[in-house]
Structure 1
Amino acid sequence: MTGGSPEYHSELLDPVVLSRAEHGISREGISDNALKVLYRLNSAGFDAYLVGGCVRDLMMGLHPKDFDVVTNATPDEVKGLFKNCRLIGRRFRLAHIVFGREIIEVATFRGHHQSATTKQNEKAKETLGKQSQEGQILRDNVFGTIEEDAERRDFTVNAMYYRVTDFTVTDFARGMQAIKDKRLALIGDPETRYREDPVRMLRAVRFAAKLNMRISDESADAIHHLNSLLSNIPPARLFEEVIKLFISGQGLETYKLMLEFGLIQPLFPQLAPLLVDPNSRESKFIEQVLINTDNRINTGQRVTPAFLYAAFLWYPIEEHCQKLMDEAGLIQFDAYNIAMNDVLHRQIQRIMIPKRFSSMMRDIWQLQLRLPKRFGRRAYQLLEHPKFRAAYDFLLIRGQIEGGSLLELADWWTEFQEADVEQRKAMLIKLREEEGGQTKRPRKRRSKKRPKPQQ
């Protein structure tokens, strides 16, 4: 398919207006700041609605993390109404209205790209809306009506608009029925929609896992032969999208769907070949990391993307390190450092990992080589390392999966952390004896020979 105007199934867009009694959304479940934005836009004479995931989640009895607003006001008009507003994005211009830590995102109704031909001249079309030869939308600032905006939404469950002036929800694509059927379907032709924005494939598996829905056959089939299009997405954008996939509380289920639809390969090409066997240590390791991550998120504990990325790239590093040792004759230390650099460099060609995370990843990896070296003061020094806890957790999962000496090492560190001062000394003495060495005796200071007194 070449670039051109998207085609939509107009029969899907049969708007139904639901009263407050029919949808059950209450203002008590809506962010006060989102309500402020809606009221001010309405007071200024603009139409404004809550839209997308927040409306969907409210209708499903969930608690939205974010509240998105859509309006017929342009980004510049929105900015004129709010002093705390900043405009972001080039491909997709948005207004962010900042209330402390909460940001209310405001978008202008999107129009179809073919409308740019009739409403604007060709130069304006190039500036506001642009597609690649493959159909991918490169710039998307063509504004339109609420009906056009609904057609431009990705999934039927996301094309519902809540209006605070009369408390109604306008359901354009039978989203309410899709929720009841637990069915996730794209609006329009799936191949066209995925080509417009390949990230929709990632959103499909994320929503399916989060909402416990089944991806419709038409929307699912297209993913299998279009998943390679993800390699066209800028690496910086993919970093944020991948975080949403795995730090959502349903990371394991999302990962399984990604394997099913072949979405690991375009994102983690060095890892994908190692996951062919679901019973391999690599597969079990990734699954256990995601299980632990889901548990932490769902119990209110903090997680860091650095740990996940370190896990996804660990076995590619091990494999590359061994290859360098075998083929180039390098010692482990040198091969390991080269392998870390090579694997990380290849990965950031697909997903840009900010330095604040890649630095922590390196610490976790390097400590895997240092943790077995526990003699003398080294064990105490490692305990003081700022990334020791993350590296220990990493080692613990490796030990659980691989067993043997690695599990013994992890158990040793578990015991050492909980031991008191005397117990730690005894553990280090026992360790040296088990390793075949002997405890070092303290060196005796040589006394200086005093000069003989002169007679």
Structure 2
Amino acid sequence: MIRVPKWLKRTNRIPVKKHGIALAMFDEDAVSAVRRLQKAGFEAYVVGGAVRDLLLDIVPKDFDISTNATPTEVRRLFRRSRIIGRRFQIVHLYFYRGKKMRIIEVTTFRADGDEVISDENSGRILQDNLFGSASDDAVRRDFTCNALFYEPTTENIIDYTGGYDDIRRGRLRLIGAPAIRFRQDPVRLLRALRLGVKLNLTISQATQKTFALYAPLLTAITTSRLFDEFAKIINSGASANIIQRCAECGITDHILPAVSSGGDFFMNALKKADLRHQSGKDISLSFIIAALFWMPVRCRWLALQQEGMLSVAAMEQALEAANFPANNIVPRRVVARAVDLYFLVARFVGKVTLRRTRGVLRNPLFDRAIAFGTLCGGDIEPEVVQWWSDYQLAGDDERKTMIATKNPGTPNR
């Protein structure tokens, strides 16, 4: 059970004239869903990250709802909805605007008690379907900044944990003792670093000192959950700083040891990803994973080519240096895409023919391979990458001339 001071459940209602968030800043579908729940006699709020982000002048990506209605009761109220989850059931509400669909997540207030099933050895929560009140739910959340409730009718923010003051003071504070909360769910270690860096919130020194102690517990978490959190880090806009902090705390040694060998190359890829995020561009996870494993692969690939092996054949052998099994949180499908990118870059090197160039240009990863080759710098001669980039834009006659110039005496076929 979570042991927290009694004052954490003291209700603090912050009026709109103090917190300054206008109702219009909240998603209208989320507000509509809250009002429908209230009209049916239930207690309901917009909760968590949306409230936190608006207080920090950040546009929220999601607007989640929390209520005292059970998942079955919520399902009865909303025709376009679905109950999901086993550890703790939640309801997804489906809203359509034109052809675009979006999901709003509804959770029932959770409580802490004897019905929560946890592993006796690790203390990790395995099953948690005990319902409670709004104040119970607040203290069950991970950080105080995520435990704020917004009530659209009154436009008040309801705060049971001091999260409002913590946000105003720029600090990220764990609810409860780290020894209990990190054991219950070690993924909170990653969340703490992600939120702290992304939102520019300070984590206390006492809490930070526990990161290395509880990092080994992450090995018991399913690889899918860990990679989901890794993907959130990559798409945070602050991935370089977050991954650096994770490495300093020893967290990556337990879940993604390739980070230690990725070096500056991997960090440069993360910095470019952060710039893309800030520009509103999509980020390719397979590109980032390719950058993560590149340095050991690159060393072996270049060495084999110096021994006289052709580029693509050398790449086939060099892949062993990546040691993918030791980094098993990365799904095979993502590894496969990264490997495809390696082989496409390897095909840039050496003699070219019309037939070969057609295959390279038809590859859906071509533009990504050009970007990766540029990132590689001296590993692949810049002239080679530029040649392929120019070749893509050239006409048929110009392509024949480019091939003849690149490979004197080689038939254009």
Mapped partners of 1:316, 1:236: distance in 2:
25
Partner of 1:427: 402
Q: Please list, as runs of the form range in 1=range in 2, the aligned pairs for 1:297-446 lying within 5 A after superposition.
A: 297-318=277-298, 336-337=315-316, 340=319, 343=322, 345-346=324-325, 349-351=328-330, 353=331, 355=333, 357-377=334-354, 378-399=356-377, 403=378, 406-432=381-407, 438-440=408-410
Contact between 2:239 and 2:274, CA under 8 Å: does it hold in 1? yes
After TM superposition, give the deviation of residue 441 of structure 1 in Å.
6.3
Unmatched 5+ stretches in structure 1: 117-124, 275-281, 433-437, 444-455
Mapped partners of 2:412, 2:338: distance in 1:
38
Inter-CA distance 442–134: structure 2 relative to 1 (3 Å threshold): closer
Contact between 2:374 and 2:382, CA under 8 Å: does it hold in 1? yes
Q: 1:232 aligns with which of 209, 217, 220?
A: 220
Partner of 2:80: 84
Partner of 2:90: 94
Q: Please list, as runs of the form range in 1=range in 2, the aligned pairs for 1:211-290 lying within 5 A after superposition.
A: 211-269=199-257, 271-274=258-261, 282-290=262-270
Inter-CA distance 374–33: structure 2 relative to 1 (3 Å threshold): farther
Q: TM-score, normalised by structure 2?
A: 0.89
Partner of 1:104: 104
| Secondary structure of the corresponding residue to residue 176 of structure 2 | coil
Aligned-residue RMSD, C-alpha:
2.7
Contact between 2:233 and 2:239, CA under 8 Å: does it hold in 1? yes
- Which is greater in Rg? 1
Partner of 2:137: 149
Contact between 1:235 and 1:350, CA under 8 Å: does it hold in 2? yes
Q: 2:125 aligns with which of 130, 133, 137?
A: 137
After TM superposition, give the deviation of residue 145 of structure 1 in Å.
1.6
Inter-CA distance 308–272: structure 2 relative to 1 (3 Å threshold): closer
Unmatched 5+ stretches in structure 2: none
Inter-CA distance 442–286: structure 2 relative to 1 (3 Å threshold): closer
Q: Percent identity?
A: 33
After TM superposition, give the deviation of residue 77 of structure 1 in Å.
1.3
> What letter matches 1:288 in structure 2?
N
Q: Please list, as runs of the form range in 1=range in 2, the aligned pairs for 1:29-40 lying within 5 A after superposition.
A: 29-40=25-36
Inter-CA distance 411–111: structure 2 relative to 1 (3 Å threshold): same
Q: TM-score, normalised by structure 1?
A: 0.82
Q: 1:190 aligns with which of 134, 155, 178?
A: 178
Contact between 2:403 and 2:412, CA under 8 Å: does it hold in 1? no
After TM superposition, give the deviation of residue 334 of structure 1 in Å.
5.8
Contact between 1:50 and 1:161, CA under 8 Å: does it hold in 2? yes
For residues 130-188 of structure 1, the C-alpha deviation after alignment (integer angstroms, 9 at most, x for no partner) is: 33421111112121121211111111111111112321111122222211221111011
After TM superposition, give the deviation of residue 320 of structure 1 in Å.
6.8
Mapped partners of 1:28, 1:69: distance in 2:
17
Inter-CA distance 251–133: structure 2 relative to 1 (3 Å threshold): same
> What letter matches 1:391 in structure 2?
A
| Secondary structure of the corresponding residue to residue 63 of structure 1 | coil
Contact between 2:256 and 2:327, CA under 8 Å: does it hold in 1? no
State the number of aligned residues. 406
